[in-house]
Structure 1
Amino acid sequence: MNGMTENSLLAMTDPVLLVISAAAICFLGYFCARRFKNTNDFAKSVKLYLPLMAVADCIIVWGWNLDILLLAGIDICGFIVMALASNYYFYHGS
């Protein structure tokens, strides 16, 4: 049987916690890109994003019991937000 069942990972996860976690990680990505907006250096943003993301992931995993597999996808979304914001600041300045 294809599709989601009542025992699948996504069906058992609280959608509010999933949205709050995604918003928090995406905000971290945006914050890291904005922090170095005048330097046009994406590597500095990544170096700031990785430890902040790791701390946020630990809080989310231990505090809200959200699955690590879902967090990996959310972390990729945060990285994409950081890349898009960094690209915007590269071409449009502040």
Structure 2
Amino acid sequence: MADIKLNHANIDQAADDLERSSRDLHSAVDDCMTLVRNAQQDLQGDLKNAAADFHLQLSTLDGDMTRELNAAVAALREMHGLLRDADVRAGRTIAS
């Protein structure tokens, strides 16, 4: 029984996948912001102002999204660490 060890690799994999998805989403939003900024140069008046406002909103939401996804990744990593530590403690208890 002292050899009991649970596999929590799926939690680590989930964190890796979420981290990769976060980078991909940020890249897509960044590409969109570049397109809006470039289009803004050809616009005038209210349309130009609307494009500037949209760009600002995209930037703000991208920052919020990135922070929230990073927090989720950190929570998954912490969960993985806690479960790994619990396995070690349980192994010691069973061994004694």
Q: TM-score band (shorter)?
A: 0.3 to 0.5
Q: Answer 1 or 2: higher relative contact order, Cα 8 Å, separation at least 6.
A: 2
Scaled by the length of structure 1, what TM-score is found? 0.37
Q: Larger helix proportion, structure 1 or 2?
A: 2
